[in-house]
Amino acid sequence: MLRHSSVVSSQVELHARFGGVVPEIASRAHVELLTPVVARALVEAGISDDHVDAVGATVGPGLVGALLVGVSAAKALALVWDVPFIAVNHLEAHLYACFLEEPGIELPLVVLLVSGGHTMLVLMEGHGRYRLLGSTIDDAAGEAFDKVARYLGLGYPGGPAIDRLAGEGDSSAIAFPRAMRNEGLDFSFSGLKTAVVNEVRKHHDAVTADVAASFQEAVVDVLVTKARRAAREHGAKGLCLAGGVAANSQLRERFLDACVEDGLHGFLPSRAMCTDNAAMVAAAGLWRLRHDGPTPLDAGADPNLGLP
Ligand code: KG4
Ligand code: ZN
């Protein structure tokens, strides 16, 4: 019988007072938190360590220090428990979050993967077969949320803070630019960030909730417009959201509306499956294990790993 658990140990509070992730602190916290997290995962799954079939760990992309801690620990556990080690690509893991809750999703599928480090439109033609249709040429969508929130004094992480405040604001108050909205499938968000700064400098009396709502509206408009164009141009049967920004309330609502209008199957992983989590790493790892077999133990971490 398959037993499972997904334990997430967030470091948000540790980094919040610095306004963003501090790599050295992140690596050290990984060392401290990893053993208790593994122990808790076993308890919550109701198994002992001799019931574990394989150990998967993210090898990239990401911060190299944190990756090395996870990879070293996973290899050590795999050796001790005498089970396979599986290297997992973080981007592929976000894609597999879609299948965790909707195993029957039809392919080809277009996935809008929007996180703190990435903004991508991926055509999934088959399992393990991806085509990158578009990506950001500067900031990632989550990065734009974090930077704008920081500028507005809303703290870290910025996405959830803007999401909350935008609910109280008027999204049509300020017409922020929508860079590259009507051309191609690439994205650009750094001009929007500058536009927010300029707007607040010019209008000191601007209502912060209106700025947040108008900023969010501009990001969501571009994301949804491009995702549906990608699905149309590539004959996708469905459209799926993935990555931390996919937890955004307005993006979720607009995304589903667009899918209904375009007659596409729209898949929205739950918020917990959108932001970084263990279950998505296990899902991608299981597929890789079945497809490629175990990963050799001399494989290392790669901070700049791209989609397979
Ligand atoms: O996928 P994720 O958990 O970690 C990365 O791989 O980056 O994504 C984190 C990003 C952060 O930039 C955070 O601000 C953003 O996702 N985020 C949101 C929301 N929740 C998290 N952005 C907008 N609205 C949200 N509700
Ligand atoms: Zn992520």
pLDDT tens for 39-91 read 999 999 999 999 999 999 999 999 999 999 999 999 999 999 999 999 999 99
H runs (alpha helix) in 89-140: 90-101
Is residue 37 exposed (0-12), middle (13-18) or buried (19+ Cβ within 10 Å)? middle
Name the residue of 245, 252, 305 whose CB sits within 8 Å of the most ligand 1 atoms, as the mutation to test its pocket.
245
Output the residue whose Cα is nearest ligand 1's atom 7.
Answer: 116
pLDDT tens for 216-226 read 999 999 999 99
pLDDT tens for 145-177 read 999 999 999 999 999 999 999 999 999 999 999
What pLDDT was estimated at residue 28?
Answer: 97
Using the mean position of ligand 1's atoms as its centre, give its distance from the Cα of residue 19 in Å.
Answer: 14
H runs (alpha helix) in 102-248: 141-151, 158-166, 190-202, 208-233
| CA of 115, closest atom in ligand 1 | 8
pLDDT band at 20 (very low <50, low <70, confident <90, very high): confident
Using the mean position of ligand 2's atoms as its centre, give its distance from the Cα of residue 60 in Å.
Answer: 10
Output the residue whose Cα is nearest ligand 1's atom 3.
Answer: 275
What pLDDT was estimated at residue 179?
Answer: 95
Output the residue whose Cα is nearest ligand 1's atom 2.
Answer: 244
pLDDT tens for 188-223 read 999 999 999 999 999 999 999 999 999 999 999 999
Q: What is the sign of the dihedral through the CA atoms of 216, 226, 176 and 173? A: negative
pLDDT band at 1 (very low <50, low <70, confident <90, very high): low
| Cα 135 to Cα 188: distance, rounded to the nearest angstrom | 9
Phi-psi region of 7 (alpha: psi -120 to 50; beta: other; left: phi over 0): beta
Using the mean position of ligand 1's atoms as its centre, give its distance from the Cα of residue 96 in Å.
Answer: 17
Using the mean position of ligand 1's atoms as its centre, give its distance from the Cα of residue 159 in Å.
Answer: 6
Using the mean position of ligand 2's atoms as its centre, give its distance from the Cα of residue 93 in Å.
Answer: 8
Residue 292, H or E segment:
helix 278-292
pLDDT tens for 124-147 read 999 999 999 999 999 999 999 999
What pLDDT was estimated at residue 220?
Answer: 98
pLDDT band at 2 (very low <50, low <70, confident <90, very high): confident
Arithmetic mean of pLDDT over the chain: 96
Output the residue whose Cα is nearest ligand 1's atom 16.
Answer: 244
Spell out which residues line ligand 1, taking CB within 6 angstroms. 115-117, 142, 145-146, 157-160, 163, 243-245, 247-248, 275-276
What pLDDT was estimated at residue 85?
Answer: 98
pLDDT tens for 237-270 read 999 999 999 999 999 999 999 999 999 999 999 9
Contact call for residues 78 and 108 (beta carbons, < 8 A): no
Cβ-Cβ contacts under 8 Å for 207 (sequence gap 6 or more): 169, 170, 173
Name the residue of 163, 222, 275, 305 whose CB sits within 8 Å of the most ligand 1 atoms, as the mutation to test its pocket.
275
Length of the chain: 308
